[in-house]
Amino acid sequence: QVQLVESGGDSVQPGGSLRLSCAASGFKFSIYAMSWYRQAPGKERELVATHTYTGGEITYADSVKDRFTISRDDAKSTLYLQMNSLKPEDTAVYYCNAYHYLLDSTIGEREYNYWGQGTRVTVSS
């Protein structure tokens, strides 16, 4: 079955660093766009960063662009998020997402969206 397992969340002080990992299995990781989302208490889930595929497009939310780095290792089916210069507003549960849109000549359009369970990041003094 499809599985996304996040790890690496922790409690850190402002200015600290953290590296999140997402171990994927049960689907063809290399063709999926991989993203990190986060959800803070009382707020909606927001997109943090996306890595379409190895060698493909990478995008970041403006709030993290100069501090976070998303990367992927297709050989290990693993997605990473290196977070530096952490701020209290980065406090949230971080979720791994796998997405693929398929246009098939015989069956038409298909959309695939998979989510992990989340890992908690707390930034405070």
Sheet order of strands, 18-25 included? 3-7, 18-25, 78-83, 68-73
Tens digit of pLDDT for each residue in 43-100? 999 999 999 987 789 999 999 999 999 999 999 999 999 999 999 999 999 999 999 9
Q: CB count, 10 Å around CB of 121?
A: 22
Predicted local confidence at residue 98, as pLDDT: 98
Predicted local confidence at residue 54, as pLDDT: 72
Displacement of CA 50 from its chain's centroid (Å): 7
Predicted local confidence at residue 121, as pLDDT: 98
Predicted local confidence at residue 55, as pLDDT: 79
Q: Give me the mean pLDDT over the 8-18 stretch.
A: 98
